[in-house]
Amino acid sequence: MDGNHSGGLGLVGDIGGTNARFALVEFDGQDPRLIEPTAYRGGDYRTAEDAIEHYLQKVGVRHPDQAVVAVAGPIEHGSVHMTNLDWRISEDSLRRAGGFRNAKLINDFTAQALAAPRLGPKDLRQIGPLPTSGEGDLAILGPGTGFGVAGLVRRHGQEIPLATEGGHVAFAPVDEVEIEVLCALTKDLQGGRVSVERILSGPGMEDLHVALGAAEGRQVEALTAKQITEHAVEGCADSLATVNRFCAVLGSTAGDIALTLGARGGVFVAGGIAPRIIDILEKSPFRERFEAKGRLSGFTKAIPTHVILHPHTALIGAAVALTPEGRAAVS
């Protein structure tokens, strides 16, 4: 791509605990269009700015006009220290590194929230009996390297994302096995607090695998999350037990978040793990546990749930944040 064409382009990024994804965005009066989305391993770069400079060199664009970068972590005063990656990023450093006129940091699940209403049927897998709804507030959550949570308030044609740190709420067991898992994880953390992210993430799945095996009296070997999901898809009983329990906890947590945010319009499951286990998740206790809210079960039974399959949802949301309406929503 010729750098002389950079005037109508913006840059968007999605930086998580493992991967850093970037794309150019073209503005032509229509919905923003992603150009050359590319993923890098964050650990291969010293800083986010180095990764951005590498990407801009690759695509041959010197100075896009503006940038929005979605990051996994709480943003304070225009800067963030990544939760699961040792990077510090600021809007000022991004402006200098990329030569942008404007640069904005937003939470990665704020970006997911902005993108969710724009996803089509091919980008989603419906879990349960209800299709997506065009009305009502939304919740977006997802396990990956960490566990993210956001909301989207929809009022009078406006969409306002709600950034949260809901991935760090406490894990609430619902049966004796999960109580034993909680006790084991509490012990491993030397009496520390067990958040849902300690289970609903890649590292959390690895800890769950060992703790669940012990709670159910099975001898299991320590595996990576990638190995657990691959073995589960292949039918390995121990790994399948872990993934089914993971899906059950995910369902309970998603239902709690739907209650907390009043997400009558739907709950979307994002992140890198759910699409890899989608066929297991669809048959798992996820939806049953999502609905099982005692006196409020009628509330959650009426809420649609979907898994997001699109690989660049946060980039789409970051691109939305470059539009006038999106800028107003995240300002």
- Report the pLDDT averaged over residues 303-309: 98
- Strands 33-41 and 66-71 come out as unpaired
Percent of the residues in the chain that have a pLDDT greater than 70, as a whole number: 96
Residue 1 lies in a domain: no
Same-domain check for residues 173 and 92? no
What pLDDT, on the 0 to 100 scale, is given for residue 30? Answer: 59
Q: CA angle, corner 146, sides to 131 and 135, nearest 5?
A: 25
Tens of pLDDT along 49-75? 999 999 999 999 887 889 999 998 889
Same-domain check for residues 151 and 261? yes
Which residues does the annotation place in the binding site for ATP?
13-18
Residue 101 lies in a domain: yes
Same-domain check for residues 109 and 203? no
Contact 188, 208 (CB under 8 A): no
Which is more confident, 294 or 97?
294
Same-domain check for residues 216 and 72? no
End-to-end CA distance of the chain: 31
Question: What CATH number is given to the structural domain containing 99?
Answer: 3.30.420.40
Same-domain check for residues 89 and 234? no
Single-letter amino acid, residue 208: L
Residue 293 lies in a domain: yes
Which residues does the annotation place in the binding site?
13-18
Q: How confident is the model at residue 192 (pLDDT cuts 50, 70, 90)?
A: confident
Same-domain check for residues 94 and 170? no
Same-domain check for residues 168 and 132? yes
Task: Domain of residue 72: give its range.
Answer: 9-114+312-330
Tens of pLDDT along 122-156? 999 999 999 988 889 999 999 998 999 999 999 88
- Report the pLDDT averaged over residues 219-232: 97
Contact 207, 177 (CB under 8 A): no
Alpha-carbon distances, residue 206 vs 51, 190, 212, 229, 239 (angstroms): 29, 18, 10, 10, 10
Residues 6+ apart with CB under 8 A from 196: 147, 167, 168, 169, 170, 171, 249, 253
What pLDDT, on the 0 to 100 scale, is given for residue 29? Answer: 59
What pLDDT, on the 0 to 100 scale, is given for residue 98? Answer: 86
Residue 199 lies in a domain: yes
Same-domain check for residues 97 and 136? no
Question: What CATH number is given to the structural domain containing 274?
Answer: 3.40.367.20
Number of structural domains found in the chain: 2
Which of 147, 214, 212 is CA-nearest to residue 173? 212
Residue 4 lies in a domain: no
Residue 154 lies in a domain: yes
Same-domain check for residues 135 and 281? yes
Same-domain check for residues 287 and 319? no
Residue 2 lies in a domain: no
Residue 133 lies in a domain: yes
Q: What is the full DSSP assignment across 276-311?
A: GGHHHHHHSSHHHHHH--GGGHHHHHTS-EEEE--T
Q: How confident is the model at residue 112 (pLDDT cuts 50, 70, 90)?
A: very high
pLDDT at 262 over 50: yes
With the C-alpha atoms ordered 128, 132, 137, 138, is the resulting torsion angle positive or negative? positive
Where b means 16+ CB within 10 Å and e means fewer, 196-209 reads bbbbbbbbbbbbbb
Least confident of 7-11, 107-111, 225-229: 7-11
Q: What is the pTM of this model?
A: 0.91
pLDDT at 6 over 50: no
pLDDT at 213 over 60: yes
Same-domain check for residues 72 and 139? no
What pLDDT, on the 0 to 100 scale, is given for residue 237? Answer: 97
Q: How confident is the model at residue 328 (pLDDT cuts 50, 70, 90)?
A: confident
Report the C-alpha gap between 66 and 11 in whole angstroms: 6
Same-domain check for residues 179 and 270? yes
